[in-house]
Amino acid sequence: MRILFVMKHRGNAGNTHAVADYMRVAKKHGHEVALFGPPQPWLPDLQFSMDVGAFDKVAYLFESELYRVSRLHEVRLLGTVPRDNRVVLDMDGMYNPLILLDGYDRNHAGEAERRQWIEHYHALSDRVVKPTIAAPDQPHVTPLPFYGYDPALQLDSAAAPEKTYDILHVGHNWWRWKEIAEKVLPALGGIRDEIGRIGFVGLWWDEPPAEGPDAGPPEAFQSDPELFRKLRIETRSAVMFDEVIRTMSTARINIFTQRPILHHLRHLTLKYFEIFYADTIPLLMLDPDHAAAVYGPAARELVLSGDTGAKILDALKRPDCYRGVVEDVRRHLSTHHSYDTRLEELIAFLQK
Return the number of the residue (52 or 153) whose C-beta is nearest another protein.
52
| Residue with Cβ nearer another protein (68 or 331) | 68
Helix axes 319-336, 288-295, angle to 10 degrees: 60
Closest to another protein by CB, 30 vs 82, is 82
Nearest CA among 130, 191, 148 for reference residue 166? 191
Q: Give the count of residues interacting with another protein (CB under 8 A).
A: 20
Cα Rg for the chain, rounded, in angstroms?
A: 20
Rounded Cα–Cα distance for residues 254 and 339 (Å): 23
- Considering only residues 97 through 116, tell me which ones interact with another protein, judged by CB under 8 A: none
For another protein, the closer of residues 75 and 348 by Cβ is 75
Q: Does 68 bind another protein (CB under 8 A)?
A: yes
Which range touches another protein (CB under 8 A), out of 77-85, 242-250, 253-261, 325-333?
77-85
- By the rule CB under 8 A, 207 interacts with another protein: no
Q: Does 83 bind another protein (CB under 8 A)?
A: yes
Choose the binding region for another protein from 39-47, 121-129, 135-143, 244-252 (rule: CB under 8 A): 121-129
Among 80, 85, 142, 222, binds another protein (CB under 8 A): 80
Q: Which stretch binds another protein (CB under 8 A): 118-126, 147-155, 158-166, 273-281?
A: 118-126
| Least distance in angstroms from the C-beta of 217 to another protein | 23
Chain positions 22 to 61 lying near another protein, rule: CB under 8 A, are 52
Nearer to another protein, 22 or 121 (CB): 121
- Segment interacting with another protein (CB under 8 A) among 70-78, 167-175, 195-203, 256-264: 70-78
Indicate the residue among 52 and 240 with the shorter CB distance to another protein.
52
Nearest approach in angstroms of CB 6 to another protein is 12
Among 72, 112, 158, 210, binds another protein (CB under 8 A): 72
Note whether 167 and 195 are within 8 A (CB).
yes
Q: Rounded to the nearest 10 degrees, what angle do helices 319-336 and 308-317 cross at?
A: 100
Judged by CB, which is closer to another protein: 57, or 169? 57
Instruction: Out of 1, 11, 31, 78, name the contact with another protein by CB under 8 A.
Output: 78
Site membership for another protein, residue 70 (CB under 8 A): yes
Q: HEC states along the chain?
A: CEEEEECCCCCCCHHHHHHHHHHHHHHHCCCEEEEECCCCCCCCCCCEECCHHHCCEEEEEECCCCCCCCHHHHHHHHHHCCHHHEEEEECCCCCCCCCEECCCEECCCCHHHHHHHHHHHHHHCCCEEECECCCCCCCCEEECCCCCECHHHCCCCCCCCCCCEEEEEECCCCCCHHHHHHHHHHHHHHHHHHCCCEEEECCCCCCCCCCHHHHCCHHHHCCCHHHHHHCCEEEECCCCHHHHHHHHCCEEEEEECCCHHHHHCCECCHHHHHCCCCCCEEEECCCHHHHHHHHCHHHHHHECCCCHHHHHHHHHHCHHHHHHHHHHHHHHHHHHCEHHHHHHHHHHHHHC
73 binds another protein (CB under 8 A): yes
**Shortest separation between residue 118's beta carbon and another protein, angstroms:** 10
Of 76, 183, 192, 336, the one binding another protein by CB under 8 A: 76
CB of 120 to another protein, least distance (A): 6
| Footprint on this chain of another protein (rule: CB under 8 A) | 52, 68, 70-80, 82-83, 119-120, 122-124
